[in-house]
Structure 1
């Protein structure tokens, strides 16, 4: 059976491309070193081998479901939650004072990549618990922290985020869940929330739901939304569970993929008073929640990278072992008497495999880059903190979207490599294909991410933040240009990055002239356009590092590994980056064909 993760590539990216060890020079991470980082990665791989991967298909064929008022999930969820608590991974990036491991996000996300490639559904339970606890740690008062977070970090209690309502999906300004202040300082929460991932099951003693609701008399729209911590069950002064807090599980949504990760409908206050406690400041709930959502978006992107990686490795193994057909000679003939070759010998199959490699590893690289920026934004000087924070802000929509959208395409190619077998449940490819489909919907759809990128991020601070990214591009171009083999690709990337800047300026002129709807109408197309440049940047950076290692005397085995990275970069530049020529033409085309035009009575 194929391995589900390429540990060699992961460690190469961490140690050599992003130099994870440099983080240990900062006081926050001084307790760690390269060896401890590697030990954590190997430990995660060992656990994933034993307790995650073996149940991946089983959790799909025996999905989470609603029965007699409860959500039934696979028994392995209990082991996952307990282990996540015992090994500290739920609170791994929290400070020591808050009960965490004070681990760099870079290493935390690398661990998540390994576990997600083994079983992307199972890791959702501790992952959301971590995000919910982090919100309370960041914005909650000391009493709330003491009441809720210790048992969340230990894995005894679960955590969720509750945003969506039946009438309010992406449009959070329309939520109607209410919060009425009570005499003891808590709030009575009443309303329904749907699509709540990990919302209920028997393997946690309690759940702490982070709920967006509107306090009586609050302003309309997003400026009147507050955030509340709402436990499923009440707790006493010793933090032990007592009676119900009237959070009712109405049902579970049966889904195309991620079937082992329950998705619930919760009713708050339907059967009596449901108490919640304000987290942070009144009417600032959405801005507080976005901390968790931005973190969750990186998590979703990493799930996409995990799934596309596992699919790539599975189809690669199949291609190496499956004999079918014969090579065509340079003269165009086949020798029917010769033995069949394994399908990896066929150029079209190799194209699909190289595409998978480029998408999966390019996605992983970008997500690790974002994680590094997050860490640096917490430990650097104030001026540099702003730079790294802004870089993370600009790249987060891409880091969430690209691994989801292109990851789906990548897995589709992997399924195609297997032919008819790819469509069958004998292999994991069809499950990977179903599981990744939700990633472009989770935590803000592709459309929402694209609007955020084009409508807010690239023009943030009058474009000064975007200049930080251009400067990062320039650093990579300069390094790659020092190697003769890479110089043409550095020049190519320089031209495409300039095209990106020029195209943005042309598009902004449309908005300046007052046609904002046209400016934003092809935001999703722009997302693809900018993403292709960003991933090309990552591949050029990887190649420059690989070339440096070769020149510095890598042995034959490592040289082959590094040459493979350079070959993948060349493939990406030829087959993916060149697509931007056509995409640019679409973006700058004068016809606005997707904007409703009632005067011409053209309706869809």
Structure 2
């Protein structure tokens, strides 16, 4: 705050006024006449009841009983407001006053203090500044000197932000300060009370000591973690130098209720609870680089501020969301016990893909995604990619993180060694993809589409195209996109109008508009390789006349260097519900003479080639559903462990307990866990089938595994993404009201997950594919073959015996019988009753997802029982999760089957005009 010097003659008048007040006190009178007796507060100068010239009106301190009543009646007259103005009932002073709900209802907040002013506060909006009483009525002349000597060395930050220095906040006093926080970092320094509590909370705690508290504090709602933080010593509860300072301690009125109250939810209002997020500029710190040495904590933890780019600096202003812990042990369990990693390692070309190699890769991927990618997640959501004059700038930190992603070789984990890849199985790459998706869904979309472009070029591209584009895509120097959708052609690609006109030298000029192009324009890579569907002159109508072209953002010279800018431009990006950091572009091809492209494969086979890319993308989107579900589950568990609310229903405790002890919260958490682990197991088994389908030496085994993978792709995509909606919704529900508050973070996962059942083919498109191409085309052979494999597992469960195995066998048998009946119905009735069959296509996909995931959970149960003695906690959790899947999810299968068999005709009975 800007300092103001004293007015001429001000100190002399001030001394006379002080002398007058002392005389008044001796006589029991105020400056304006007789008043109630006054009790002197040690070390404090009292206020006058009437204003003097050039000075705002002040009140006397009445008798303690009256003062207490005044505080109860007028909360704005005490705490931090005492130093800023009188109570609203008496007068408003020279400046307008913002009246809040507690003032009007004569209520006080749960901690006996009025919280931060609301968003409509006049001073916060108009930056009206007033000197504190300590500057006008200070006890000695050295107070200002002591304040000037304070060093700004302690920085407190929540898990979702870095606190800017006070010097920067002086530029704009609208910036709120984080009051307390779960996941804040303590950077050691000296005398921060005057800066944090005194300046921000009414200047009432200046020169008071602080002590440090390192232990974790029970009973607070979690924004993910609560580490060492500065704690004020307890003093008069009527004065609140640091808001929420008693919260969570014994004796606090809300120590069993978490932060906030029913009236004014402190810690939930954005204006007072966190800094206003702005871009770089006047008063803003986002994107500024600061030396790490001044602020880094002494040790690195999963939640600590890290150096994600390995250069000794960190980006200040980014939210350090370091809460994601990749479930490496769970992943390795699935890979080894269910997906058969040892069998994959026996395939030609995968001899080095041993269990040790897989563990090393997964542990390094967990470190990278947790320390580099995850911290960018929330910041990207709040400050998305931006468009200006055809150029898109990625969210802060994304470019540096993507550079490190490419340099680390993560783009090429599953791609051939001859083009610069690692040559590892898809099974191992799948686990890495899940981690990337869980850490940052928006960021992961760029590598996802690049993987699809690589697959398409390796399968259908010419040798020249492979040599020109694939190595740069694998290295991360360039990225790839897929361009299908047009304004009039969404899921129906037969309506594509983009045209490709031959030039005569083997190239084509592309003209048209493509929409919904994920990462279609950005600044993270030197070049972007667009794979575009278009029609050549004279091509047949419909999907049989579509060709595929590769159209780079910058033309590539014969020596591999970048040439001129191609005629493809981004005209805008979309504003979306979720995945906001991922730019979704509208691309215009050929506005200035035509974009130069080359044909991939043969003419009119573009959709066939694009399906190669789409299959890879669809499987990867399924992994996105699993990743975001895992992240939502972890966050919900952390909150449930620390949110204290209500006594147990069985009366086992006399006081309130963390909500994780309550049965319904356990039900939600276990359902989230069971769905996520079931979907993960099914996806990893599909990845192993893909590896065998491409690399098995036996032709019969290769065809069998390839057919299994093709059948499972729409299930992985459709079931996993629909499941992610349920899981992230339950995550919000576990948080209760705080789940609906954006700053908690649970809502972002829900918003991000909502796109997953939509893009890369809606759930209905996946279900139609599952019915038409994957079930009816082969007479249900693959589906019925899977049912036969499930029956074998049922026999193993019966042989093993025990309560868990018997229950799982009964539920799995009912699910298998339901799936068998529906498969036979679909095969028999598709031609005769197509409407009835396709009306139940999405439930059929859900049925397959539940039953096939249950199949894998039954296998996990058998493996966990055999190894329970090695690690009782880990394998005991696997047993419990499998049992929950059987009792909660597999029991739904017969009902879903009944709705498919009987519901088709009912759905078609209502004419369209009656809707």
Asked if 1:374 corresponds to 2:687, the answer is no
Once the 2 structures are TM-superposed, how far is the Cα of residue 602 of structure 1 from its aligned partner?
4.2
Verify: 1:361 aligned to 2:680, yes or no. no
Out of 637, 658, 664, the residue aligned to residue 342 of structure 1 is 658
1:135-214 to 2 correspondences below 5 Å: 135-214=456-535
Tell me whether 233-242 or 302-311 shows the greater mean CA deviation: 233-242
Contact 1:4 1:314 in 2 (8 A): no
Scaled by the length of structure 2, the TM-score of the pair is 0.63
Moved over 4 A (4+): none
Distance 1:457 1:414 in 2: 33
Q: Over residues 23-63 of structure 1, what are the superposed CA-to-partner deviations in whole Å (9 max), with x where a residue is unaligned? A: 22222111332222211111111111221111110000001
1:568 Cα deviation from its structure 2 partner:
1.4
**Residue in structure 1 matched with residue 893 of structure 2 by the alignment:** 580
CA contact (8 A) 1:81 1:125 kept: no
SS of the residue 1:351 aligns to = helix
The 5 Å alignment of 1:68-467 reads 68-329=389-650, 334=651, 338-380=654-696, 381-467=698-784
Give the drift of 1:228: 0.6
Q: For the Cα contact (< 8 Å) 2:783–2:823, is it kept in 1?
A: no
| 1:564 equivalenced with 2:877 (yes/no) | yes
Structure 1: tracts of 5 or more residues without a match? none
Match of 2:905, SS?
Answer: coil
Q: Aligned partners of 1:590 and 1:413: how far apart in 2?
A: 28
Which structure has the bigger radius of gyration?
Answer: 2
Q: Which residue of 1 aligns with 2:812?
A: 493
Cα deviation for residue 232 of structure 1 reads 0.9
Question: Greater CA deviation, 585-594 or 89-98?
Answer: 585-594
| CA separation of 1:417 and 1:191: change in aligned 2, threshold 3 A | same
What is the CA distance between 1:515 and its match in structure 2? 2.1
TM-score (structure 1 length as normaliser): 0.94
Greater alpha carbon shift after TM alignment, 560-569 vs 312-321:
560-569
What is the match of residue 528 of structure 1? 846
Kindly indicate whether the alpha-carbon contact (under 8 Å) linking 2:818 and 2:893 is maintained by their aligned counterparts in 1.
no
Instruction: State the 1:590 CA deviation.
Output: 6.1
Deviates more, 1:58-67 or 1:26-35: 26-35
Note if contact 1:93-1:103 (Cα within 8 Å) is conserved in structure 2.
Answer: yes
Q: Structure 2 residue aligned with 1:64, among 379, 385, 399?
A: 385
DSSP 3-state at the match of 1:195:
strand
- Of stretches 472-481 and 244-253 in structure 1, the one that deviates more from structure 2 is 472-481
CA contact under 8 A between 1:480 and 1:544: conserved in structure 2? yes
Cα–Cα, structure 1 residues 33 and 510, in superposed 2: closer, same or farther, change >3 Å? closer
Distance in 2 between the 1:217 and 1:83 partners? Answer: 46
Distance 1:472 1:293 in 2: 28
Task: Report the Cα distance in structure 2 between the residues aligned to 1:591 and 1:373, rounded to whole angstroms.
Answer: 33
2:858 is aligned to 540
3-state SS in 2 of match to 1:27: coil
Kept in 2, the 8 Å contact 1:80–1:122? The answer is no
Comparing 456-465 with 52-61, greater Cα deviation is found at 456-465
Q: Which residue of 1 aligns with 2:326?
A: 5
Counterparts of 1:508 and 1:133, CA distance in 2: 35
Show CA shifts across 1:226-247 (max 9, x none). 1110011112221211211100
Q: Deviations over 1:55-109 (max 9, x none)?
A: 1100000011211221121242223332332222222222222332111000001
* Equivalent residues of 2:324, 2:438 under 8 A apart: no
Maintained 8 Å contact 1:208/1:231: yes
Residues 378-428 of structure 1, C-alpha deviations (whole Å, 9 max, x = no match): 122110111111111111111001121111111111111111111112322
Which has a greater percent of helix? Answer: 1
Distance in 1 separating the partners of 2:788 and 2:655: 53
Displacement of 1:471 in angstroms is 3.1
Unpaired stretches in structure 2, ≥5 consecutive residues: 1-224, 226-322
**Is 1:80–1:123's contact at 8 Å kept on the other side of the alignment?**
no
Q: Deviations over 1:103-134 (max 9, x none)?
A: 10000010111121111111221221222122
Over 3 Å counting, the alpha-carbon distance change for 1:158 and 1:236 in structure 2 is same
Deviation at 1:490, TM superposition (A): 1.9
Distance 1:453 1:307, change over 3 A: same
Task: Please give the alpha-carbon distance, in whole angstroms, between the structure 2 residues aligned to 1:383 and 1:500.
Answer: 26
C-alpha separation in 2, matches of 1:81 and 1:561: 34
Give the conservation status (yes or no) of the 8 Å contact 1:251–1:265.
yes
Does the 8 A contact of 2:784 with 2:820 survive in 1?
Answer: no
- Matched residue pairs, number? 591
The more displaced of 132-141 and 159-168 is 132-141
RMSD: 1.7
